[in-house]
Structure 1
Amino acid sequence: MTLALYHNDMSSCAQKVRLMLAEKGLQYESRHLNLRAGEHQQDWYVKLNPRAVVPTLIDGDIVVPESNVINEYLDERFPDPPLKPADPFGRAKMRLWTKQLDEGVHDAGIAILSFGVAFRHQYISKGEAGKEMLESIPDPIKRERRRDVIEKGLDSAFFKIAISRLLTLYRDMEDSLTKHAWLAGADYSIADAAFTPYVVRLDHLDVLGMLEPTPRVADWYRRIQARPSFKEGITRWENADYLTLMKRQGRENWPKIKEIMASC
């Protein structure tokens, strides 16, 4: 068995796959890409992943892109321990959770929160190089959302939409966690691994106050942090330079974020 993972240390999508690998106890070759240097936009990588995003899993001669697809692939390829619910309805609930991530939670939600609060400053500081990185984003909808939030920050209409979408997500998680211990049922599953980065990012931005209306989600996150996979998949990859920027900008912008939350 030869597994390799093209990933980035602070990427939410890469985090969920590293969590899955850690939960499975799988060893892999780390192939880290510097996203701010545009390494994921080079021709050789786009041939592996046409959307020019991370992560991409390599399993021998097999190439698997897209984090949610990778996690299901890993669970079927390495079924012990199983991280899908045993019953069909449980698996359906798990997939209804992960499906949301590709329908707005990621690109229109947590990514816009991150860019509006912190990452926009990296693009702006690079000047023309930052503009070139932005223009290299293949998806035109994603590119224009990023452009608007880089230019306008928290005043972007997309930023307000992102806050509203995330608050809806956390309320939905809260409701699910009133019924059972984990998102899709009584046991930890792919759904929990998939959604962990979308609370980790609040932590890294120092805006965990967004969870104040949803105490069960806050408790779920504490239990997630106590799992050995969290250290292996998240903590050991934390980038100190990014964290410094993220926390500083998060604290600075928290009063405005609370205002936006109150209007949602």
Structure 2
Amino acid sequence: MASRSATITLYSRPGCVHSHRVRLIMAEKGVASYNVVELREDEESEDLLELNPYNTVPTLVDRDLVVYDPRIILEYIDERYPHPPLMPVDPVLRAQYRLAIFRMESDLYDLCEDLDGTPAVARKARERMTQLLTTLAAEFSPREYIGEEFSLVDCTLAPILWRLEHYNVKLPERHAKTLSRYAQRLFARPAFAESLSAVEAEMGSLPAAR
């Protein structure tokens, strides 16, 4: 990936699935020169609270701009660093991709907090995530990625798939094979390894070097 300078600071947490997604986009775009303020899971930051009234991560600061919605951060980075593009130019396709991302956030990302909850809550979340991913795998096309080319949709799903083993989410065998082949393609991308925090690196395993 090409290295580009940037005056960007990213507030992140090492195990946060939304933060992981932003770090993945930054790596895919080759944004090598940016600062990461990594907060522990229980750590509060007065600086972050001054920047973001919701005190949430990820929060991205680019000069005078502060962005604290994950999806807006993704699209901002995609437009700020236009090569390689991670969203289609066609407005119909863009709308379809945005809907796919919205559904993943609403259906899958919202379950991640429950997966770290009490045993009863985590069990229910695992069952729901298994159901959702089984349906997704059944709809997979023979293409290499979800769309015609690698996109923000794939970058949104990758952090979820990386955490399946960690959360003990197991799909029926046939669907597991389909999703696993796709996941391994994502994990084999150089940017994915670059995006992992030390905490996330322990959640799964990268494909062996070829």
The structural deviation recorded for 1:104 is 4.1
> TM-score scaled by structure 2?
0.83
The structural deviation recorded for 1:60 is 1.0
**Superposed, which structure 2 residues align to 1:1-264 within 5 Å?**
1-27=6-32, 28-36=34-42, 38-39=43-44, 42-107=45-110, 109-113=111-115, 115-116=116-117, 153-156=118-121, 159-178=122-141, 180-183=143-146, 185-205=147-167, 207=168, 209-210=170-171, 212-214=173-175, 215-234=177-196, 237-239=197-199, 243=202
Letter in 2 for 1:212: E
The structural deviation recorded for 1:29 is 1.0
The Cα offsets for residues 162-202 of structure 1, whole Å up to 9 and x where unpaired, read as: 2243123313431442253322x121100111111111111
Letter in 2 for 1:200: W
What is the rounded CA distance, in whole Å, between the counterparts of 1:218 and 1:190 in structure 2?
A: 19
What is the rounded CA distance, in whole Å, between the counterparts of 1:101 and 1:211 in structure 2?
A: 20
**Which protein has the larger Cα radius of gyration, Structure 1 or Structure 2?**
1
Letter in 2 for 1:53: T
Q: 1:161 to 1:100 in 2, by over 3 A?
A: farther
What is the rounded CA distance, in whole Å, between the counterparts of 1:17 and 1:212 in structure 2?
A: 31
CA contact (8 A) 1:5 1:29 kept: yes
CA contact (8 A) 2:161 2:183 kept: yes
SS of the equivalent of 1:6 reads: strand
SS of the equivalent of 1:194 reads: helix
CA contact (8 A) 1:178 1:216 kept: no
What is the rounded CA distance, in whole Å, between the counterparts of 1:94 and 1:175 in structure 2?
A: 19
Count of residues in correspondence between the two structures: 197
What is the rounded CA distance, in whole Å, between the counterparts of 2:106 and 2:15 in structure 1?
A: 21
CA contact (8 A) 2:12 2:58 kept: yes
The structural deviation recorded for 1:208 is 5.4
Which residue in the other structure is 1:260 paired with? none
> TM-score scaled by structure 1?
0.67
The structural deviation recorded for 1:56 is 0.7
What is the rounded CA distance, in whole Å, between the counterparts of 1:89 and 1:164 in structure 2?
A: 33
The structural deviation recorded for 1:213 is 4.6
